[in-house]
Structure 1
Amino acid sequence: MFRWCVLVFSAIAALNVSAAENLTSLNDNGILSWETKVFAGESIYTIGEHKGRIALKALSRQSASGLVLKKQIDLTKTPYLSWSWLVEKTLPQLDERSKNGDDFVARIYVVIDGGLRLWKTKSLNYVWSSNQNKGVVWDNPFAGAKVKMMAIRGKQSETGTWYQEKRNVYQDLIATFGDKGSEEANRKTYRYIDVIAIMTDTDNSGWDAESYYGDLVFTAM
């Protein structure tokens, strides 16, 4: 009986290990396969060590560009996204709910691509907010309700400190864009994301920002 239990738990552990995907692989320069997307001036992204760990450094000087990975993720298999991040300075006196203040020292976003059916495209932005409270959710001032902003870190968060995050992306999509009334309907709408992106941007406010990101990893639990 003991041997059987060991085999079962070993199999479960192996399954959980296999149901994990590091999208950045900073130690192996995996982030270099991500595409650069420039909106207004180019932010600089480099890999190096910062405060005891390998990180992706993002330096924005009144610019807005990000790193984009086009990859379909099945959220019924790996719904959890984990990452770490650190910012050295936040952006003062900024109304992030306005077009002039739509800047973030750090953000990670996931996209459901509707293709030609543009009305089905949705994006959820996990942001480090300089002026909102942690946990606040709002519509993007440029894109409206199709793009949701979620403050994972807020104005009370400390600068110069690494924070470890873990989010159930599938449940966050349901919570922010609306429950479709049944598990079947929710899976049909939110099962897959198609794009993941990282961006530090300060083009609207005209400020500078220096931030750091750890690996982005999707897991089953």
Structure 2
Amino acid sequence: MKLALLLAIAISCSVYSSNMVAAEILPIGLFSSGSMVGWEVKSFERETNYSIEHFDNELVLKAVSDGAASGLFKKTVINLKEYPYLNWRWRINGKLPEGDEQQKEGDDYVARLYVIRSGGLFFWRTKALNFVWSSRGDIDNTWPNAFAPDNNRMVAVRSMHHKIGQWYTEKRNVYEYFKDWLGEEIVEIHAVAIMTDTDNTGGYATAFYGDIYFSRK
């Protein structure tokens, strides 16, 4: 079982309201400041190691997975009508062997970022967009998650064709992705999660994540 399903139960019991400041951006992960405040670990099959490291003359989040599957998640309420864009930076130092990511035995990603809408007490209604670094095909491909096809939508932001050892800056309109997927307006999300996992393929992966934030435009 992957991160989003187990997070659903935890989030449903602890979603909180927040007063949104009328700013252009809403920080989620301030790794460049050396902070991991608010991020919690969820383990599934051994633990991916997450740590703040100096790399390329800055502080970033480093993830190392050796046949492991654990993630970091942060509970936060974001109004997607006001802040629809998810922004982040990431880099990988190697790729996983090409496999069938639509099957359970191939459902591993060297880097991924979740955006989660809680179903509240009805945790089976929880929905999660998974922005992933795919070990296969072209970018912008989407498919249902092998473990939870009704609850998780995978989106290939980077693929096997992109260079390793290079930083990439990403921006995705989460509001529009949810609308395209579910056919309805999703106004709020309730958590963001990071995961580098190799438990199904038994592989090894190293990824780096820069700061994460939502923006108005």
* Structure 1: 5+ residue stretches without partners: 1-15, 181-185
**Match in the other structure for 2:26:** 21
- 1:123 Cα deviation (Å)? 0.5
Partner secondary structure for residue 180 of structure 2: helix
1:205 to 190, 201, 206: 201
- RMSD across aligned C-alpha pairs, in angstroms? 1.5
Q: Distance in 2 between matches of 1:33 and 1:120?
A: 24
- 1:29 Cα deviation (Å)? 3.1
Q: Percent identity?
A: 41
Report the structure, 1 or 2, having the larger helix content.
Answer: 1
In the alignment, structure 1 residue 192 sits paired with structure 2 residue 197: no
Corresponding letter in the other structure for 2:213? V
2:73 to 65, 68, 75: 68
Q: Distance in 1 between matches of 2:136 and 2:42?
A: 26
Q: Distance in 1 between matches of 2:98 and 2:176?
A: 32
Q: Count how many residue pairs are aligned between Structure 1 and Structure 2.
A: 197
Q: Distance in 2 between matches of 1:76 and 1:132?
A: 31
1:112 to 117, 123, 135: 117
2:63 to 58, 64, 67: 58
Q: Distance in 1 between matches of 2:110 and 2:141?
A: 16
In our comparison, the structure showing a higher alpha carbon Rg is: 1
Q: Distance in 2 between matches of 1:208 and 1:32?
A: 27
**Match in the other structure for 1:165:** 170
Does the CA-based 8 Å contact 1:23-1:30 persist in structure 2? no
Corresponding letter in the other structure for 1:104? Y
In the alignment, structure 1 residue 100 sits paired with structure 2 residue 105: yes
Corresponding letter in the other structure for 2:120? G
Q: Distance in 1 between matches of 2:75 and 2:64?
A: 23
- 1:203 Cα deviation (Å)? 0.4
Corresponding letter in the other structure for 2:35? G
* Structure 2: 5+ residue stretches without partners: 1-20
